[in-house]
Chains A and B, each alone.
Chain A
Amino acid sequence: MSDAQELQVQQKREVDKKTEGTAPGRTFLPVTDIFETPEALTVVLEMPGVDRNSIEANVEDDVVTIEGRIDFSKYEGMQPVYTEYNVGHYARSFEISNKIDQSKISAQMKDGVVTIVLPKAEQAKPRKIQVS
C-alpha cells in the first residue's frame, strides 16, 4: 500500500457462530494476517483492548482457536456522547494441517496484536535438492 493513501476504517465483522453463546453480547472477528516461512506458519491477529492475560489459544482436533476478552469494566461511569465503533470480545479459529508441530505452538501479545507461531513439523520442512 502506498504511503500517500489514506487509511480507512475497517468495519468490524461479527463472529458467525455455529452454536449460540450463553452470555448476551456480540463477539467480533479479529482482523488477521497469515504468512508462511520455511520454518513456520504465523497468524497475526489484532485485538485492541485485550491484555496478555485475557488471551486464550487452544489447539484441538487440528483447529486452533484464539479468544480474547476485553475488560469492559474500564467503561464504568463513562457515558458515550459520540461513537464510531463498538467493542466486544474477539474469537477466531483456523484449521491447521498435520504438518504443524502442535506441541511447539507459541503465542505472544504486544500492543493489542497477538502473534501465534505454528512451527512446521520436521518432515514438512522444505528441502533443497541438489542437482548433480
Chain B
Amino acid sequence: METKTVKDIAFLARMRVADDQLEALAGELSGIIGWVEQLAEVDTEGVEPMTSVVEMTLPRRDDAVTDGRCREAVLANAPDRTEDFYTVPKVVE
C-alpha cells in the first residue's frame, strides 16, 4: 500500500493523519492486508456470504412513533450548541 492510498482512505474516513506518519502506516496496513489475503486460497465457489449470525427472522414492528419529546436529552452532550441546534462550521457561503 502506497502512502498516497493511506492518505486517500484517511480522507474517506475523515481522519487526519500527519504526513510524517503515512510511511509507517502504509507499512503496517500493507502487512495486515497481505496477511488477510490468505483468504484468496479458500474455495468459496457457491458459498453464500453470511448475513445473519444466528438463524432468526428479523422481527417487524408497527410503524409507529414510540419515542420522542426528549430534545434536551438528545442535545445534552453536544460539544457546541446554539439554542436547540447542533452547530457546525459554515458549509454554505
Instruction: Decide whether A and B are members of one complex.
Output: no
